[in-house]
Structure 1
Amino acid sequence: MQKLTTWLWFENQAEEAARYYASVFRNAKMGEVVHAPGGGEPYTTEGQVLTAEFVIEGHHFFCLNGGPHPEAKPNDAVSFHILCADQAEVDEYWNKLAADGGREVQCGWVKDRYGFSWQIVPEILERVMAGPDREAAKRVTAAMMKMVKLDVAELEKAARG
């Protein structure tokens, strides 16, 4: 059993969301769907989906049908980071997460149809930002700040100067 898991709150779309996320990622699958037993949950009835699990790259996520709760809305204080090998992978995740009600933001961020924030990041960005060449890091940062979806070729060009 995984010691640390991520839980996402939904009013009543837990299973739908879990199936969606499992379809977005290459190495992902649906996990267990748990139905409410009845007798105490304020926003569920007997048999209604209570939680739905999905697994991405071995990390377990749980979607909870917690009912309406104004403070349980997704916001930018928490985001999910997807490290991508190349532009094709950036494009793949960007297009999937921005589709069907998602929203492109800036600097490689996209909000999915449920309002959760994702950072779609090519490995060159992390490599240059953590590298010893601070001038290259400044140039890459300046280039990134002008982008919505990150462009690997432009980041590479900025890194070279």
Structure 2
Amino acid sequence: MRSSHLLPQGLMQIGWCTLSCRFNQEEGVGDTPDSYAYDGNRVRKWNVTTTNYGKSWAAGDIVSCLIDLDEGTISFCLNGVSLGVAFSDISRGSGMAYFPAISLSFKESVAFNFGSRPLRYPVEGYRPLQDPPTAELLKSQRLLGYLKTVLSTGIDSQV
């Protein structure tokens, strides 16, 4: 899951893609196989072909992009309200990975939050791409730091 704070003025398609996608001036996210996008300006979803989907977005809106690789679905939320499943039975398989992707018109602007800051509209059952460190991880890092200090002190005193 990721959230995007929009400052749209023109065309913008936001979603997910795989490494096999090759984009250019005419083809962006959702225009190629294995890329999936939502466009709130034109109120459409894109995966090679396009159909009506979602609601119109405006500057300052927050879009959450949700991918469920167990179920094979991609969904979007606008300001915390689900727009429903946009794509089902997405391509999956061994060695396949999805990455956040966006196509913008000239002078478009967007701010992303992959989870380094608390999400304004978290969605139950989904985790941010960048989970904040857990207490256990922080304790482990502290312990490793202590161990490193002890080991380096022991080595220095033997020299």
TM-score normalised according to structure 2 size: 0.23
Identify which of structures 1 and 2 has the higher relative contact order when contacts are C-alpha pairs closer than 8 Å and 6+ apart.
2
More helix by share: 1
Greater C-alpha radius of gyration: 2
